[in-house]
């Protein structure tokens, strides 16, 4: 694969790469390129997580030596599962099984548990060095990476440690690439700034899109001009802690159809439209995907849509009714998820973990 093709695969379905030039140089000049993503084991997996999982698969296929950080202590700081570290660990194991079902087996990546990292005095040495070289205000601004506001640090000091832990993870693992959703931008930019200051390796940052809550954007998001893109992403994304906002990997076909029918999908509107985003960032990312839309004969009858550009143009022009688009998207998503669920539920461990995590969610 030539460098142009490699770069195309590396950057597809991303919001931004900081910087493309640095990434291209890595792919050309380095035999060993180390990448990573950190995730909070915080519950059941919704379809929004598939965006970064697909990107991990892309990078692994390109030969990137990929580390997946199970951010257990980060999840503890962020009050996931009420701070129940045992449930957090179970969520981490379940995420491994989902990644395997998506096409990222454990044999092709290296898992790192945050509990291993915090046992190292070198880890805390880096963190203290970072703390000495950044301001309290800068750290507070980065709290949006964990879905928190700056004011929440006033009553829980541990949350101020979180952004510095995330940057320390990157430097301690000596990484070339930091992958994350666009909501992780502030942490990655802090890492790049501090790398220059402290002579650490400066990571390339790859940011993937965030799929909007099926309930649509909040009123705050509607005034998004007041906020940075990563803050807006944190505000409106699907959330495991708010199941009404998300479609989950394990949802039944009936549940997918029901949620899709209730999804925010205003006519002729693309921005913050979760139905359009599901097509753009998930369905049309599948090789050879065609969206089959059933329409009443008086509205032109059935139509096959071959590209996301074709879909967006037709929707903007009012040639597709929201209900017809929702129905078509639901059926295509059900088909995509079915192949993942077949692989996922071939694992007894995955089934048991899903049951335990679902029970914990209901009883909390």
More confident residue, 52 or 220: 52
Please give the mean pLDDT across all residues of the chain.
90
Structure confidence at residue 244 (pLDDT): 81
Task: Inform me whether the pLDDT recorded for 304 exceeds 80.
Answer: yes
Structure confidence at residue 311 (pLDDT): 97
| pLDDT > 90: percent of the chain | 75
Topology, domain 3-208: Rossmann fold (3.40.50)
Domain ranges in the chain are 3-208, 250-363
Secondary structure, 3-state, the chain: CCHHHHHHHHHCCCCEEECHHHHHHHHHHCCCCEEEEEECCCCCCECCHHHHHHHHHHHHHCCCEEEEEECHHHHHHCCHHHHCHHHHHHHHHHHHHHHHHHCCCHHHCEEEEHHHHCCCHHHHHHHHHHHHCCCHHHHHHHHHHHCCCHHHHHCCCHHHHHHHHHHHHHHHCCCCEEEEEHHHHHHHHHHHHHHHHHCCCCCEEEEECCCECCCCCCHHHHCHHHCCHHHHHHHHECECCEHHHCCECCCCHHHHHHHHHCCCCCCCCCCCCHHHHHHHHCHHHCCCCCEEECCCHHHCCCEEECCHHHHHHHHHCCCCCHHHHHHHHHHHHHHHHHHHHHHHCCCHHHHHHHHHHHHHHHHC
| pLDDT tens for each residue of 128-154 | 999 999 999 998 888 887 776 656 556
Q: What is the mean pLDDT of residues 59-81?
A: 93
Task: Inform me whether the pLDDT recorded for 316 exceeds 90.
Answer: yes
Q: What is the mean pLDDT of residues 151-175?
A: 86
Q: What is the mean pLDDT of residues 334-356?
A: 95
CATH class, 250-363 region: mainly alpha
Structure confidence at residue 46 (pLDDT): 95
Task: Inform me whether the pLDDT recorded for 183 exceeds 80.
Answer: yes
Structure confidence at residue 149 (pLDDT): 60
Give the pLDDT band of residue 296 (cuts 50, 70, 90): confident
Q: What is the mean pLDDT of residues 168-197?
A: 95
Q: What is the mean pLDDT of residues 178-205?
A: 95
Give the range among 160-174, 181-195, 273-287, 295-309 with minimum mean pLDDT.
295-309
| pLDDT tens for each residue of 72-107 | 999 998 888 888 999 999 999 999 999 999 999 999
- Please tell me the pTM assigned to this model: 0.91
């Amino acid at each position: 694969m030539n460098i142009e093709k490699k770069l195309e695969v590396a950057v597809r379905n991303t919001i931004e790469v900081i910087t493309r030039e640095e990434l291209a140089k890595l792919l050309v000049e380095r035999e060993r390129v180390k990448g990573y993503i950190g995730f909070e084991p915080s519950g059941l997996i919704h379809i929004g997580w598939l965006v970064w999982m697909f990107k991990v698969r892309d990078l692994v296929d390109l030969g990137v030596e990929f580390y997946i950080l199970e951010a257990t202590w980060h999840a503890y700081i962020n009050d996931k599962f009420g701070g129940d570290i045992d449930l957090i660990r179970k969520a981490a194991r379940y995420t491994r099984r989902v990644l395997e079902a998506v096409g990222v087996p454990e044999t092709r990546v290296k898992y790192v548990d945050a509990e291993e990292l915090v046992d190292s005095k070198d880890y805390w040495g880096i963190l203290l060095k970072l703390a000495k070289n950044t301001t309290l205000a800068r750290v507070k601004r980065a709290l949006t990476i964990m879905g928190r506001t700056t004011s929440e640090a006033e009553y829980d000091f541990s949350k101020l440690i979180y952004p510095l832990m995330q940057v320390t993870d990157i430097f301690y693992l000596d990484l070339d690439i930091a992958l994350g959703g666009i909501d992780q931008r502030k942490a990655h930019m802090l890492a790049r700034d501090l790398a220059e200051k402290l002579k650490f390796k400066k990571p390339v940052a790859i940011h993937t899109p965030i799929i909007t809550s099926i309930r649509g954007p909040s009123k705050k998001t509607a005034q998004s001009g007041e906020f940075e893109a990563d803050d807006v992403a944190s505000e409106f994304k699907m959330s495991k802690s708010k199941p009404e906002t998300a479609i989950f990997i394990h949802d039944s076909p009936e549940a997918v159809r029901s949620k899709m029918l209730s999804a925010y999908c205003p006519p002729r509107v693309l921005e913050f439209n979760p139905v359009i985003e599901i097509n753009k960032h998930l369905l049309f990312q599948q090789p050879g995907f065609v969206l089959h839309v059933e329409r009443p004969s008086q509205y032109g009858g059935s139509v096959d849509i071959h590209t996301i550009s074709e879909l967006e143009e037709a929707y903007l022009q009012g040639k597709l009714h929201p209900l017809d688009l929702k129905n078509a998207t639901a059926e295509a998503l059900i088909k995509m998820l079915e192949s993942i669920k077949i692989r996922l539920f071939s694992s007894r461990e995955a089934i048991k973990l899903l049951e335990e995590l679902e029970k914990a969610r209901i009883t909390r």
